[in-house]
Amino acid sequence: MILCCGEALIDMIPAPTAAGPDGFVPHAGGAIFNTAIALGRLGRTTGMLTGLSSDLFGAQLQAGLKASRVDTSLVITSDLPTTLAFVRLVDGQATYTFYDENSAGRSLTKQDLPDLPSDISALYFGGISLCSEPGADAYLALAVRAAPTRAIMLDPNIRPGFISDEARYRARLNEMIKLSDIVKISGEDLDWMHPGADSELDKATQLLTKGPAVVVLTQGSEGAIALTRTHEPIQVPAQKAQVVDTVAAGDTFNGGMLARLDQLDVLRKSDIAALQPETLRDAMGYAAKAAAITVTRSGANPPWEAEL
């Protein structure tokens, strides 16, 4: 099983109303939730570890996970509210305003964490769940516990406006990078982490010195590049698509890459360290196809396996 660990929230997506001004329609979302949905739809055995509310939005998130065949046995439920993210779309590009104080997800503690079942082979982390305490520290503790024997993938997906204590966040993120086998990163993330004139490729290469076996740099319409310590950079083009919006494109890419590595039976810690270029190219190509389908749809709506 691939276990996705982090936020599940409600994206409030703008939609026209009869009166004229846009209203907001609640859609299940969150970076980690979206990746779990993608994995479930792509036919992989997938679970989610998160904090969900018992409110109506929490019920919507639970239903969304189950409808996409994601195991919810490790979900931790409370009476605290659901995180809301109000989305603004400009030319298909999404920006977010979050409401997360005292939420069910953010309020997870280390003591809430369950023992992990033995069938979990890989864990996925990232997103805003690594920003806010105590939940962020709980996820780091889980990664520390799992890293010696299980593969870990990280996508920081940094939201600077969500970070309340930058020093603590940077320290936590550095620890997560050290624990990770695969790090997926964007140019925007790299510029925030390492301001300066170095190229995106140079900045991504520097991450390899911190611990990961593979760093994947995504570059939007220019595709993605995988970096390892033993091979030349491996580049895969983006798939052409008629873009409606980019909500969950990166999350779907992550799900596609994890799904394909799992299909190829190499999503284990020992195997990731020895991945060959053709395997990485295959996995990134599959991920790019999945992401290309997602951007043709409104909101977070990853494809099913048959669509690829």
pTM of the model: 0.94
Q: How far apart are CA 226 and CA 184, in angstroms?
A: 9
Confidence bin at 240 (pLDDT 50/70/90): confident
Least confident window among 129-133, 163-167, 188-192, 241-245: 241-245
Give per-residue pLDDT as tens, 167-183.
999 999 999 999 999 99
Share of the chain above pLDDT 70, in %: 99
Confidence bin at 92 (pLDDT 50/70/90): low
Confidence bin at 89 (pLDDT 50/70/90): confident
Find out whether 300 and 34 touch, Cβ atoms under 8 Å. Answer: yes
Half-sphere exposure of 89 (CA within 13 A, CB side): 19
Find the mean pLDDT for residues 235-250.
85
Give per-residue pLDDT as tens, 19-60.
877 889 899 999 999 999 999 999 999 999 999 999 999 999
Tokens coding 30: 């969150």
Find out whether 250 and 288 touch, Cβ atoms under 8 Å. Answer: no
Mean confidence (pLDDT) of the chain: 93
Tokens coding 13: 């997506």
Residues contacting 280, CB < 8 A, separation 6+ = 214, 226, 228, 234
The neighbouring-strand residues paired with 71 are 47
Residue with tokens 């590049």: 225
Residue 146's identity, in one-letter code, is A
Element at 189 (helix H, strand E)? helix 187-193
Residue 144: is its pLDDT beyond 70?
yes
Confidence bin at 119 (pLDDT 50/70/90): very high
- CATH code for 2-17+24-303? 3.40.1190.20
Residue 15 is predicted with a pLDDT of 83
Q: How far apart are CA 95 and CA 256, in angstroms?
A: 23
The neighbouring-strand residues paired with 96 are 87
Give per-residue pLDDT as tens, 220-236.
888 999 999 999 999 99
Residue 153's identity, in one-letter code, is M
Residue 72 is predicted with a pLDDT of 97
Q: How far apart are CA 10 and CA 84, in angstroms?
A: 5
Residues contacting 43, CB < 8 A, separation 6+ = 259, 305
Residue 78 is predicted with a pLDDT of 96
Residue 179 is predicted with a pLDDT of 98
Residue 98 is predicted with a pLDDT of 86
Residue boundaries of the structural domains of the chain:
2-17+24-303
Find out whether 117 and 147 touch, Cβ atoms under 8 Å. Answer: no
Q: What angle do CA 121, 124, 125 make, to 5 degrees?
A: 145
Share of the chain above pLDDT 90, in %: 78
